[in-house]
């Protein structure tokens, strides 16, 4: 299983626009991708392609989250998703 830790960069955290951008990107992969707050057990991870799940994390700017995926292309998918989380989408 591939795993990456990312730091939330958007000033408003993982809410509204940043969550929608991330969820759409996560949904483009034919993989089960999960997200959890750093330090949370893997069994509490949520569907990374769900905007509601993302917003329920309550992740704010500077918080760390853990992404996990398994299967062909998981490493590349997680690398791309980390880049999205580590970009301040409110600064664009």
Cα–Cα dist 10/8, whole Å: 6
| Active-site annotation holder among 13, 14, 15, 22 | 15
Tokens in use for 45? Answer: 């991870």
Cβ neighbour number for residue 51 with a 10 Å cutoff: 18
* 15 carries an active-site annotation: yes
Phi, psi values for residue 50, rounded to 5°: -105, 115
Q: Tell me which residues are annotated as active site.
A: 15
């Amino acid at each position: 299983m591939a795993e990456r830790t990312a730091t939330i960069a958007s000033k408003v955290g993982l809410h509204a626009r940043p969550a929608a951008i991330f969820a759409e990107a996560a949904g483009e992969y034919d993989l089960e991708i999960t997200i959890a707050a750093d330090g949370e057990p893997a069994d509490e991870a949520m569907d990374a392609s769900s905007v509601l799940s993302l917003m329920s994390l309550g992740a704010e700017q500077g918080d760390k989250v853990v992404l996990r995926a398994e299967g062909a292309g998981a490493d590349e998918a997680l690398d791309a998703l980390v880049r999205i989380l580590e970009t301040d989408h409110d600064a664009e």
